[in-house]
A and B are shown apart, each in its own frame.
Chain A
Amino acid sequence: MTLSGKAPKIGGLGLYAVFYLAFIYGPVLFLPLFSLNDSTFISFPLKEFTFKWYVEAFQSERLMASLFNSVKVGVPVAIISTILGTLAAKAITRYRMPGKTPMMSFLMAPLVVPGIIVGIALLIIINRVGIDLSLWTIGIAHLPACTAFSLWIMISRLEGFDRSLEEASLNLGENAWMTFWRVTFPLILPGVIASLLLTFTISFDEFILAFFLAGNEPTLPIFMWSQLRFPAQLPPVLALGSLILIASFVLVYFAEWFRRRGTHLESSSGV
């Protein structure tokens, strides 16, 4: 492989790595493959090449509505969780605080508690308080996990952050707010972008929580789930799924790229 440089040295382990990548990526590739196949049945042999499932998908009003719903939830969730994650990461990496370790475990908990349990816990409380299920409730459900992910991304970003840069700015007469905008923010911007893209992707693709907390406006994963039961509806869903996969791949790839570019910039500046 070109990635690994001198191939001969890699041997059995390298071969395994190739198989492993095939295992990770292979199954997913069948979605776009069959989305371009001119047949209602998802099976070999392949028939004609066609784009008609894509056209059909985009002509479905309900599908487009659910796509729009997912964006309506994902964008604010990404912004709010990134702000909260950044603030918390700043507090944790910057200050000596009593009880920091248990606090961290608590803030990271949404990543390990099974989604279904968080989902029904929220469903019960929302029902008791008497709030109607809507896109709002989905958004609230997405916030903790997305914030925890953002926190995780931003902590790794801020850990290498030279604290004296902020002190220098304060010392040069700027207040905390301007210091944030003139020094901290430009330096953590790659992490912020990565966090925005990743949290958006998570919220956009999230199914389990949304399943319990959706009102009568479904998000895209909910809509797709409802279509999986009808074989005739499968090809347009495949078309849409393929698009989502491609979009997610691009978003995530850019996110990771930003994260890397950021660390590269910092190490080359050599502070």
Chain B
Amino acid sequence: MVDGTAPKAGSVSGAGTGRPGLLSWWRQLYLRSEGVRGYSLLSPTLLLMVFAIAVPLLLLFVASFWTQHLLDITPTFVFDNYLTFAEKDSYQKLLWRSLKISGFVTVLTLLLAYPMAYFIAFRIKQNKLMWIILITVPFWTSYLLRVFAWKIILGYNGVINSGLLTLGWIQAPLEFLLYNQFAVVLTLAHAWAAFAILPIYVSLEKIDRTLLEAATVLGDGPVMRFFRVTLPLSMPGVVAAALLVFIPTVGDYITPALLGGPKGLMIGNLIQLQFAKANNWPMGAALSVISLLAITLVVCAFLWFSKRVRTQNL
């Protein structure tokens, strides 16, 4: 130790062994166990997640069995809300449509993103990070404004219609652009693009380049090589991207509310309605639980399927 501080070392160690009780016990435990040290550092974050995510979601589940009459919520335990869902075709249709739209969005996003990720991973030699930043920057910026931009573009008096009218290519505004499922799919695919590119890019970047050379040496052309080596090896990234896009889009309600019209509404709008005009919170909770359940089912089926495809490929 530094000159003259030797007695300090002595006194500290003396205190450690000499002081009885809880403090000393904790000190020993803290010094000896990495798990204890790790979890004490983690505990504030863990508490936040428990109280701001886990407990509310649990209560949401409980609340889905409650009932509401006008403004009074009764903490019962009945299946009324779930029965309502089972009876109402329109609710089921909305959930089904949400899953379908999100499925389309996921496929479209992946198809659009894959070549881009491939381009950055394999064709860009310098300034790779510049490209990554270029792709990710819009993702961090206002979701609401990005969705709104599409309303300006696709609207009745929007960019496309007024532009085409000015050019004289059409006589009356095209009405099929806005307020349908296509508008919703397109907008969502645009909004979630960055989420899909990053995981695919990472998995492509990880591929050992010598494997590709090996495939070439073994006689595969570029196309065969892509389907037999590159694509299978990038599957983990594709699967991750699919989940990252699919799960949040099922619950989206901004896009359908702004661009969907009656034909493009999704389950999120129905849930939101329960907390607004319909004012039936327990029903909203039940719809949320049902949506989460449906998402989980689809995700599990997807994971099971992708695993089977992968194991058969190998």
> Is A–B contact present in the complex under a CB 8 A cutoff?
yes
Which A positions have Cβ atoms within 8 angstroms of B? 3-5, 9-10, 13-14, 16-17, 20-21, 23-25, 27-28, 30-31, 34, 41-45, 84-85, 87-88, 90-92, 94-98, 103, 106-107, 109-110, 112-118, 120-125, 127-128, 140-141, 143-144, 147, 151, 173, 198, 201-202, 205, 207-208, 212, 221, 224-225, 228, 241, 244-245, 248-249, 252-253, 255-257, 260
CB-based A-B contact count at 8 angstroms: 254
In the complex, the chain B residue whose C-beta lies closest to that of A41 is B157
In the complex, the chain A residue whose C-beta lies closest to that of B118 is A13
Q: Can you list 11 A-B contacts (CB < 8 A)?
A: A17-B115, A24-B190, A24-B194, A106-B54, A112-B248, A117-B251, A123-B281, A124-B63, A124-B285, A205-B141, A207-B254
Contacts known (A30-B152, A120-B284); A125 close to B248, Cβ less than 8 A: no
Decide if A151 touches B45 in the complex (CB within 8 Å): yes
A261 to B243, CA, bound (A): 31
Q: In the complex, which residues of chain B have a beta carbon less than 8 angstroms from the beta carbon of A245? A: 141-142, 145
Decide if A224 touches B144 in the complex (CB within 8 Å): yes
Pick from B35, B115, B131: contact of A3, CB under 8 Å: B131
* In the assembled complex, B159 has its CB within 8 A of some CB on chain A: yes
Decide if A91 touches B42 in the complex (CB within 8 Å): yes
In angstroms, how far is the closest chain A Cβ from the Cβ of B144?
Answer: 5
Contacts known (A87-B45, A112-B243, A143-B48); A120 close to B60, Cβ less than 8 A: yes
Query: What 1/0 mask marks residues of chain B from 264 to 277 whose CB sits below 8 Å from any chain A CB?
Result: 00001001100100
A128 to B194, CA, bound (A): 38
Q: In the complex, which residues of chain B have a beta carbon less than 8 angstroms from the beta carbon of A25? A: 138
A21 to B129, CA, bound (A): 15
Decide if A124 touches B140 in the complex (CB within 8 Å): no
In the complex, the chain A residue whose C-beta lies closest to that of B246 is A112
Given contacts A42-B152, A42-B155, A124-B56, 19 further A-B contacts (CB under 8 A): A24-B194, A30-B152, A44-B159, A87-B44, A97-B39, A106-B49, A109-B53, A114-B252, A116-B251, A116-B271, A117-B288, A120-B275, A120-B288, A141-B52, A147-B49, A205-B143, A207-B142, A208-B143, A256-B133
Which of A5, A42, A124, A248 has the most CB atoms of chain B within a 10 A radius of its CB? A124
Contacts known (A120-B275, A121-B57, A221-B142); A30 close to B153, Cβ less than 8 A: yes
Pick from A17, A114, A140, A201: contact of B291, CB under 8 Å: A114
Q: In the complex, which residues of chain A have a beta carbon less than 8 angstroms from the beta carbon of B233? A: none
Q: In the complex, which residues of chain B have a beta carbon less than 8 angstroms from the beta carbon of A103? A: 42, 46
A120 to B136, CA, bound (A): 29
Decide if A107 touches B46 in the complex (CB within 8 Å): yes
Decide if A23 touches B149 in the complex (CB within 8 Å): no
* Interface SS, A side: helix
* In the assembled complex, B22 has its CB within 8 A of some CB on chain A: no
Decide if B138 touches A28 in the complex (CB within 8 Å): yes
Decide if B48 touches A147 in the complex (CB within 8 Å): yes
Interface size class of B (residues with CB under 8 A): 35 or more
Contacts known (A30-B152, A42-B152, A92-B42); A253 close to B250, Cβ less than 8 A: no
Find residues 56-95 in chain B having any chain A CB closer than 8 Å to their own CB: 56-57, 59-60, 63
Contacts known (A10-B123, A120-B285, A244-B145); A90 close to B56, Cβ less than 8 A: no
A114 to B38, CA, bound (A): 29
In the complex, the chain B residue whose C-beta lies closest to that of A228 is B148
A74 to B248, CA, bound (A): 22
In angstroms, how far is the closest chain B Cβ from the Cβ of A8?
Answer: 12
In angstroms, how far is the closest chain A Cβ from the Cβ of B257?
Answer: 9
Q: In the complex, which residues of chain B have a beta carbon less than 8 angstroms from the beta carbon of A144? A: 48-49, 52-53
Contacts known (A42-B157, A256-B136); A207 close to B143, Cβ less than 8 A: yes
A241 to B143, CA, bound (A): 11
A124 to B247, CA, bound (A): 22
* In the assembled complex, B207 has its CB within 8 A of some CB on chain A: no
Find residues 1-40 in chain B having any chain A CB closer than 8 Å to their own CB: 1-2, 34-35, 37-39
Q: In the complex, which residues of chain A have a beta carbon less than 8 angstroms from the beta carbon of B201? A: none
Decide if A115 touches B251 in the complex (CB within 8 Å): yes
* In the assembled complex, B134 has its CB within 8 A of some CB on chain A: yes
Which of B57, B243, B250 has the most CB atoms of chain A within a 10 A radius of its CB? B57
A85 to B56, CA, bound (A): 21
Which of A24, A42, A95, A103 has the most CB atoms of chain B within a 10 A radius of its CB? A24
Q: In the complex, which residues of chain B have a beta carbon less than 8 angstroms from the beta carbon of A17? A: 115-116, 119-120
Decide if B144 touches A122 in the complex (CB within 8 Å): no
Decide if A43 touches B115 in the complex (CB within 8 Å): no
A43 to B281, CA, bound (A): 40
* In the assembled complex, B236 has its CB within 8 A of some CB on chain A: no
Contacts known (A20-B112, A122-B52, A144-B53); A205 close to B251, Cβ less than 8 A: no
A115 to B165, CA, bound (A): 39
Q: In the complex, which residues of chain B have a beta carbon less than 8 angstroms from the beta carbon of A256? A: 132-133, 136-137
Which of A20, A45, A140, A257 has the most CB atoms of chain B within a 10 A radius of its CB? A20
Q: In the complex, which residues of chain B have a beta carbon less than 8 angstroms from the beta carbon of A16? A: 115-116, 119
